Amino acid sequence: MQIVMIEWEDSCSNHGWTEISNATYCKPAPCVTAGIVIHEDSNKITVGLTVGEGTFSESMTIPRGCIKRIRKLKVS
């Protein structure tokens, strides 16, 4: 099992109707997620926060286009 820490950027949005002339824009939010790699391919990586014998809980899939950096973590 490989444990990783992923630095990535999340989307943002505003809600409700707004006149285009009054539009304000939010900035994407920097995020950090750590977990055990469950699956990865050229488009995405999925990490599990808790892993048991052949099972996992609380997974998160992050698109590769949002990822800024992936660091492999070593556990002793």
Tens of pLDDT, residue by residue over 18-74, are 888 887 888 899 999 999 999 999 999 999 998 888 888 899 999 999 999 999 999
pTM: 0.83
CA-nearest of 31, 32, 33 to 58 is 33
Grade residue 13 by pLDDT with cuts at 50, 70 and 90.
confident
The per-residue pLDDT for 56 is: 86
Using DSSP, state whether 15 is helix, strand or coil: coil
The per-residue pLDDT for 9 is: 97
Using DSSP, state whether 52 is helix, strand or coil: coil
The per-residue pLDDT for 44 is: 98
